[in-house]
Structure 1
Amino acid sequence: MKTILFGATGMVGQGVLRECLLADDVTEVLSVGRTPLGRTDPKLRELLLPSLDDLTTVADQLAGYDACFFCLGVSSVGMDEAEYRRITYDLTLGVARLLAERSPNSTFTYVSGQGTDSSEQGSTMWARVKGKTENDLLTLPLQTYVFRPGFIRPMNGEGPKTAAFRWGYRLLAPVTKLGTRVFPKYATTTEAVGRAMLRVTRENPPTRVLGNPEITRLGT
């Protein structure tokens, strides 16, 4: 299968990239982003752009793919709703709509979050925006899957971009390792997320919105 990956420099994206490169049935990974990955692999191709807001100029390069793993995301801390919506909703839907045109038979997997508000009416801003993003993605002519992880434990050298967060994960590593075993409802791993994304692409299970227990089960 040929896959597209958005957000390969982030913690989740790093894990998804690793699993794609390890998978025997993945023949190509197209990483779309603004920052070089700093690595090479016979399967890996990078499409570097100054901005991801408008992909129409490179639309033809997104044709003919079997899956798109969308792992981009930002924290809502300190952001107003308009800006958070632009990054979380507008960017995601723009990519998905383009994929629906250029690779209409593909699977689109979106990393959302535990606690997302599908009603779009709640008091928590990020949960409303994520809820609308999920809802509108699920109406597109794609095989769409929504992943709602809670805490994600980095594996195999993956980690957040921010140095402070990387140190925090390292210090808490023994606790988080125990947490993924004892509280599977609330915690999973980057390894499980990547493997689960590949599995839903291969198998097309009927459940489209997946929480930590489903992600971990599919990624085991």
Structure 2
Amino acid sequence: MVTAPANLKMVAIFGASGTAGDGILEAAMANPEISKIHVITRRSTARIDAGIASGKVLMTAHRDYLDYSDIVEQLAEVDAVFWAIGISSIGADEETYRRIHIDFPQQFLKEWINVGTKPSASFHFISSSDISADSTAMWARVKIEAENTLSDLAKDNSLRVIAYRPDYIGPTDEEAHIGQALVYWFFAPVGAAVKAEQIGQAMIEVVIRGDQFANGDKLSNQLILRYSNAYEDRNEVRSANIAGTVNAP
């Protein structure tokens, strides 16, 4: 069994007010190894407020996602960044879609690398399944360009950029409405859907496993589910060990 390293203490989440980001935040808040969560967001949510009240979440209101000069230094010591900023391609023009899915994270990575990251730091972001540079779909071409652009930025340093390629993302129970629940339960039996919190669990599991993952690695929907399950198994073992210690004579 892979054990959690001592450096899994501090993470940052971008996009925690959205569907996927809310699930990632839920997973991070539930993880006992993580002591501080930096949430970079335009607005708060009930979960963010609860995290602030617990003392585990530090929220920073941020508006300009092409300029991180006012926040990047406080993130120099984080062990991992979980990036969940994105929009639907429906009704979006290509310029706007590219700015949000490529320019925003690209600028952050440039500034984060420039300020100096921890040697073991990693950047985890949500991409999409079924993407290709030759696709006729604008969003698919942009997503594959984002993967290549972001991993290329980390080639000359120790930073690792990992992409997650889910199919359908089901929201957390607190955020779900009946339509989303029906879509999730339609795709889930054939392995074509993940819960938002499962993405967060998989991201944490990948961080825990450290050098088992290299810069540029990509996790399919099936691998997201596999590492989410591995994360839950790890927590069950940990809980059992704690219970055994408490109940020992």
Q: Quickly name the TM-score band, shorter chain normalised.
A: 0.7 to 0.9
Q: 1:176 to 1:75 in 2, by over 3 A?
A: closer
Secondary structure of 2:72's aligned partner: helix
Give the corresponding residue for 2:190.
Answer: 183
Secondary structure of 1:219's aligned partner: helix
Secondary structure of 2:70's aligned partner: helix
Q: 1:43 to 1:75 in 2, by over 3 A?
A: same
The answer on whether the counterparts of 1:153 and 1:176 sit within 8 Å (CA) in structure 2 is: yes
| Bigger fraction of residues in helix | 2
Instruction: Describe how 1:201-220 pairs up with structure 2 within 5 A.
Output: 201-204=207-210, 205-206=212-213, 208-220=217-229
Give the corresponding residue for 2:55.
Answer: 42
In the aligned structure 2, how far is the partner of 1:156 from the partner of 1:42?
Answer: 23
Quick check: 1:8 aligned with 2:16?
Answer: yes
Identity %: 28
Deviations, residues 60-79 of structure 1 (Å, cap 9, x unaligned): 12211100000110111222
2:135 to 104, 107, 122: 122
Give the corresponding residue for 1:103.
Answer: 117
C-alpha displacement at 1:104, in angstroms? Answer: 4.6
Instruction: Describe how 1:1-220 pairs up with structure 2 within 5 A.
Output: 1-38=9-46, 39=49, 40=52, 41-101=54-114, 102-105=116-119, 106-117=121-132, 120-139=133-152, 140=154, 141=157, 142-159=159-176, 166-170=177-181, 172=182, 176-177=184-185, 179-180=187-188, 182-184=189-191, 186-204=192-210, 205-206=212-213, 208-220=217-229
The answer on whether the counterparts of 1:15 and 1:158 sit within 8 Å (CA) in structure 2 is: no
The answer on whether the counterparts of 1:2 and 1:28 sit within 8 Å (CA) in structure 2 is: yes
Secondary structure of 2:65's aligned partner: coil
Rg larger for: 2
Number of residue pairs aligned between Structure 1 and Structure 2:
207
C-alpha displacement at 1:206, in angstroms? Answer: 3.1
Secondary structure of 2:29's aligned partner: helix
TM-score w.r.t. the length of structure 1 is 0.87
Give the corresponding residue for 1:163.
Answer: none
Q: Which amino acid aligns with 2:207?
A: T
Secondary structure of 2:135's aligned partner: coil
In the aligned structure 2, how far is the partner of 1:154 from the partner of 1:36?
Answer: 17
Bigger drift between 203-212 and 29-38 goes to: 203-212
The answer on whether the counterparts of 1:11 and 1:154 sit within 8 Å (CA) in structure 2 is: yes
Secondary structure of 1:57's aligned partner: coil
C-alpha displacement at 1:80, in angstroms? Answer: 1.9
TM-score w.r.t. the length of structure 2 is 0.78
The answer on whether the counterparts of 1:108 and 1:145 sit within 8 Å (CA) in structure 2 is: yes
